[in-house]
């Protein structure tokens, strides 16, 4: 098989890129190691910046998002019994939209046939070859035999553990990484949220987050040591811990219910640079990971995809090779700013095992400053709602 662009990974980033390319008449093929049901079963983020919403609108795939998405004009930082509301609408003139990544992926999947976007699911043993050349190719196994796709470019949208980043020689890139000493234990339940906006809480027992996927489905988190196991956390223990950490005001409105899903997600900050090597471009988690504090993961992937699409379209429509060369620097400029924000908010709202009285006093001082400073709140709001692309 021959195509101009082979996209590895059919999550939201890969599908979004495929739609952007096909909408401009550029042929591409998407490979996905899992089946469509597995892809839709992944429980992920749900706070969308303007960049992500705008891409869906550009593709004409935002009808359900506009109908079902929850528009949020602010969010909250809690510590002790104090709740600091960051009014992002008043401070920036913008807002975010709560719409589950699963639903976004569903919208992209259901529209692929009408767009003429070819997706090969259950593609095993995907391998990238000659990525440093002008004639790369991809091999994979399906239906008991090997297949080969010859292309001009490969775009890796296959996550942190996928084969794309591994295809870049060690001498051609550098990894920057910080691994955190805790993970987020999440519970998803069909109960109304305790607040109409998100609450990020810093408590002496640890971090907590009150979030939602809809007006009837809630997503809550508490941070736990990385050594913890999900089976040691029955539902009631999680609900009890949330009621303590989120504070009395939120606790009074928590509706308990059986969990639909529970999992522990480790936290790390990670960047691989550059995000291009020869004819291979990396997007999303294949190139970077952010802690979920601040909801940047999916939105960073969307901005990567937008930059990659612009560069690839410039190459194929105008013969502009400089756009491909400039992709990595352009994407990384936004990535590092988002990494800084996610790292700083994680540092502010979590208790680290090595912290002593001084570090705790600094957290309290910072939160007190944020509570009383419009300038500090504006800086947080600008980053939370998403920096310009």
337 classed as catalytic: no
The one catalytic residue in 79, 140, 180, 200 is 200
Calculate the CA 353 to chain-centre distance: 26
Cβ neighbors of 141 (< 8 A, separation 6 or more) are 123, 124, 125, 147
Residue 209, pLDDT above cutoff 90: yes
Q: What angle do CA 336, 342, 343 make, to 5 degrees?
A: 85
Q: Where are the domains of the chain?
A: 5-45+100-177+268-346
* Other Cβ atoms closer than 10 A to 133: 10
142 classed as catalytic: no
| C-alpha separations of 182 from 178, 226, 269, 370 in Å | 12, 5, 13, 25
The one catalytic residue in 12, 163, 193, 292 is 292
* Three-state DSSP state, 120: strand
* Three-state DSSP state, 156: strand
79 classed as catalytic: no
Q: How far apart are CA 268 and CA 343, in angstroms?
A: 9
Q: Quick one: pLDDT at residue 167?
A: 94
94 classed as catalytic: no
Q: How far apart are CA 296 and CA 283, in angstroms?
A: 14
The one catalytic residue in 220, 221, 307, 384 is 384
pLDDT tens for residues 182-196?
999 999 999 999 999
Whether domain 5-45+100-177+268-346 has CATH 3.50.50.60: yes
The one catalytic residue in 12, 19, 72, 327 is 72
Average pLDDT, the chain: 96
The one catalytic residue in 288, 296, 330, 350 is 296
Helix residue ranges per DSSP H, the chain: 12-22, 36-40, 50-58, 63-68, 88-92, 101-110, 112-115, 163-166, 235-245, 248-251, 297-318, 321-349, 357-372, 374-385
- Rg (C-alpha) for the chain, rounded Å, is 21
pLDDT tens for residues 236-277?
999 999 999 999 999 999 999 999 999 999 999 999 999 999
Examine residue 274 and say whether the peptide bond preceding it is cis (omega within 30 degrees of 0). yes
> What does pTM read for this prediction?
0.95
72 classed as catalytic: yes
CB-based contact 125:94 (threshold 8 Å) = no
Lowest mean pLDDT among 38-52, 62-76, 199-213: 38-52
Residue 378, pLDDT above cutoff 70: yes
Cβ neighbors of 26 (< 8 A, separation 6 or more) are 4, 5, 312, 313, 316
The residue assigned the tokens 């007006």 is: 215
């Amino acid at each position: 098989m021959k195509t101009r662009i082979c996209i590895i990974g059919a999550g939201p980033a890969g599908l979004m890129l495929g739609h952007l390319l096909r909408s401009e008449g550029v042929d591409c093929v998407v490979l996905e190691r899992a089946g469509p049901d597995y892809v839709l079963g992944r429980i992920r983020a749900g706070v969308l910046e303007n960049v992500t919403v705008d891409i869906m609108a550009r593709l004409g795939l935002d009808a359900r998002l506009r109908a079902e998405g929850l528009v949020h004009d602010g969010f909250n930082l809690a510590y002790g019994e104090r709740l600091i509301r960051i009014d992002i609408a008043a401070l920036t003139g913008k807002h975010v939209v709560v719409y589950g990544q699963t639903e976004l992926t569903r919208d992209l999947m259901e529209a692929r046939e009408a767009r003429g976007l070819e997706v090969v699911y259950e593609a095993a043993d995907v391998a990238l070859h000659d990525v440093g050349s002008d004639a790369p190719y991809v091999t994979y196994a399906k239906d008991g035999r090997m297949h080969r796709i010859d292309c001009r470019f490969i775009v890796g949208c296959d996550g942190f553990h996928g084969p794309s980043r591994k295809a870049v020689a060690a001498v051609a890139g550098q990894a920057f990484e910080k691994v955190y000493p805790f993970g987020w234990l999440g519970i998803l339940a069909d109960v109304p949220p305790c607040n109409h906006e998100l609450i990020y809480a810093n408590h002496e027992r640890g971090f907590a987050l009150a979030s939602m996927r809809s007006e009837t489905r809630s997503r809550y988190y508490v941070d736990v040591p990385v050594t913890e196991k999900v089976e040691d956390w029955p539902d009631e223990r999680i609900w009890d811990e949330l009621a303590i950490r989120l504070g009395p005001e939120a606790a009074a409105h928590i509706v308990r219910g059986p969990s639909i899903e529970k999992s522990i997600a480790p936290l790390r900050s990670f960047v691989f640079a550059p995000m291009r090597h020869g004819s291979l471009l990396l997007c999303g988690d294949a190139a970077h990971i952010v802690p979920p504090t601040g909801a940047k993961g999916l939105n960073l992937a969307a901005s990567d995809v937008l930059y990659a699409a612009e560069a690839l379209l410039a190459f194929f429509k105008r013969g502009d090779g400089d756009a491909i060369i400039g992709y990595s620097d352009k994407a990384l400029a936004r990535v590092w700013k988002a990494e800084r924000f996610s790292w700083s908010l994680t540092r502010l709202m979590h208790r680290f095992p090595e912290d002593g009285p001084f570090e705790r006093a600094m957290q309290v001082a910072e939160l007190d400053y944020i509570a009383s400073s419009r300038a500090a709140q504006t800086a947080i709001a600008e980053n939370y709602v998403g920096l310009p692309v």
